Amino acid sequence: MDKAYVAVLSFAFLFLFHYLVSRRNGNGNGGKGKKGAQHKLPPSPPSVPFLGHLHLVKTPFHAALSRLAKQYGPVFSLRMGSRPTVVVSSPEHAKECFTEHDVALANRPRFPSQQLVSFDGAALSTSSYGPYWRNLRRVAAVHLLSAHRVGCMAATTIAAEVRAMVRRMSRAAQASHGGAARIELKRRLFDLSLSVLMETIAQTKTSRAEADDDTDMSPEAKEFKGIVDKLAPYFGTANLWDYLPVVRWLDVFGVRSKILAAVSRRNAFLRRLVDAERRRLDDSIGSNGEKKSIIAVLLTLQKSEPEVYTDTTIMALCGNLFGAGTETTSTTTEWAMSLLLNHPEKLKKAQAEIDKLVGTSRLLTADDVPNLTYLRCIIDETMRLYPAAPLLLPHESATDCKVGGYDVPAGTMLLVNVYAIHRDPAVWDAPNDFVPERFEDGNAEGKLLMPFGMGRRKCPGETLALRTVGLVLGTLIQCFDWDRVDGVEVDMTEGGGLTIPRVVPLEAMCRPRATMREVLQEL
Q: Comparing C-alpha atoms, which of 240, 237, 231, 259 is closest to residue 396?
A: 237
Written as one string, the DSSP assignment of 282-346 is HTT----GGGS-HHHHHHHHHHH-TTTS-HHHHHHHHHHHHHHHHHHHHHHHHHHHHHHHH-HHH
How many alpha carbons fall within 13 Å on the CB side of residue 343? 20
The helix (run of H) or strand (run of E) holding residue 97 is helix 91-98
Known binding residue 318? Answer is: no
Q: How far is CA 320 from the centre of its chain?
A: 11
- CB count, 10 Å around CB of 79? 18
3-state secondary structure of 36: coil
Q: Is 269 exposed, middle or buried (0-12, 13-18, 19+ CB in 10 A)?
A: middle
Q: How far apart are CA 409 and CA 257, in angstroms?
A: 34
Residues 398-435 as b/e (b if ≥16 CB within 10 A, e otherwise) read beebebbebbbbeebbbbbbbbbbbbbeebbeebeebb
CB 482 within 8 A of CB 337: yes
* Residues annotated within a binding site: 459
- Binding residues for heme are 459
